[in-house]
């Protein structure tokens, strides 16, 4: 039990690393004061360009993958693997380095899925890309692809019922963090990919 608690705390701290903020700071920019103010790759893309966004995206994905990998190779049960992933996502969303503020957790959630359920991670990514290519809305891609996550777990990785629980939690976190985007999408005021801040 002590090991599991330590792993959960470590995952939260790892998830808290704000790669978007770090990348922007290297360029002398306060990411919280430009564009949407979000610390994720989409705002970095709009505010700083392609390569800083790629670095941010990869960093945010990696911390989710690494957190679950540490748990997996420490021999924890599947439920705790999922909870460690959840801890990393919460770390991103409520970073200890940003006064418990943070991003929306999309890239970190995808990183968690890459280690936790690779097949479903691929399906989630394909759905996200498809929606974004069709609509040009990054937020809508995230909302749709993660709303379908529990269903995709049932279809492609129904080996452990705990994965359904973890997938529902991840879906809820994504949708809740995108509530403002949902309002803007409904009003037609959401910015598309490629629109500058």
For residues 172-176, average pLDDT: 97
Contact 109, 178 (CB under 8 A): no
pLDDT category at 1 given cuts 50, 70, 90 is confident
Q: Is the dihedral of CA 86, 4, 100, 193 positive or negative?
A: negative
Return the closest-CA partner of residue 22 out of 47, 59, 65, 66.
Answer: 59
How far is residue 71 from each of residues 55, 103, 116, 166, measured CA to CA in Å? 25, 23, 10, 15
85-102 per-position pLDDT tens digit: 999 999 999 999 999 999
Distance from C-alpha of 30 to C-alpha of 71, rounded to nearest angstrom: 33
Alpha helix locations (H) across the chain?
Answer: 2-15, 19-26, 41-48, 50-73, 78-93, 106-116, 118-135, 138-147, 149-156, 161-177, 179-187
- Rounded distance between C-alpha atoms, residue 150 and residue 185, angstroms: 23
Considering only the C-alpha atoms of the chain, give the largest distance between any 2 of them, rounded to a whole number of Å: 49
What would you report as the CA-atom Rg of the chain, rounded to the nearest whole angstrom? Answer: 16
State pLDDT tens for residues 32-88. Answer: 888 777 888 888 988 888 899 999 999 999 999 999 999 999 989 889 999 999 999
Taking alpha carbons only, the member of 20, 14, 26, 109 closest to residue 67 is 14
In angstroms, the CA 56 to CA 54 distance is 5
Task: Break the chain into its structural domains and give their ranges.
Answer: 2-187
pLDDT in tens, 123-165: 999 999 999 999 999 999 999 999 999 999 999 988 778 999 9
CA 192, CA 27: separation in Å to the nearest integer? 24
């Amino acid at each position: 039990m002590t090991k599991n608690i330590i792993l959960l705390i470590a995952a939260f701290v790892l998830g808290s690393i704000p790669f978007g903020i770090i990348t922007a700071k290297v360029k002398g920019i306060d990411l919280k004061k430009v564009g949407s103010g979000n610390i994720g790759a989409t705002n970095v893309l709009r505010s700083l360009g392609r390569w800083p966004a790629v670095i941010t995206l990869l960093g945010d994905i990696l911390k989710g993958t690494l957190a679950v990998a540490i748990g997996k190779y420490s021999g924890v049960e599947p439920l705790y693997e999922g909870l460690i992933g959840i801890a990393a996502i919460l770390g991103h969303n409520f970073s200890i380095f940003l006064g418990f503020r943070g991003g929306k957790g999309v890239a970190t959630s995808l990183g968690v899925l890459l280690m936790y359920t690779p097949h479903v991670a691929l399906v989630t990514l394909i759905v996200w890309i498809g929606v974004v290519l069709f609509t040009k809305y990054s937020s809508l891609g995230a909302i749709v692809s993660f709303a379908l996550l529990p269903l995709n777990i049932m279809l492609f990785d129904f080996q452990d019922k705990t994965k359904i629980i973890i997938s529902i939690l991840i879906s809820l976190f994504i949708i809740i963090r995108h509530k403002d985007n949902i309002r803007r999408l409904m009003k037609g005021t959401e910015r598309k990919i490629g629109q500058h801040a």
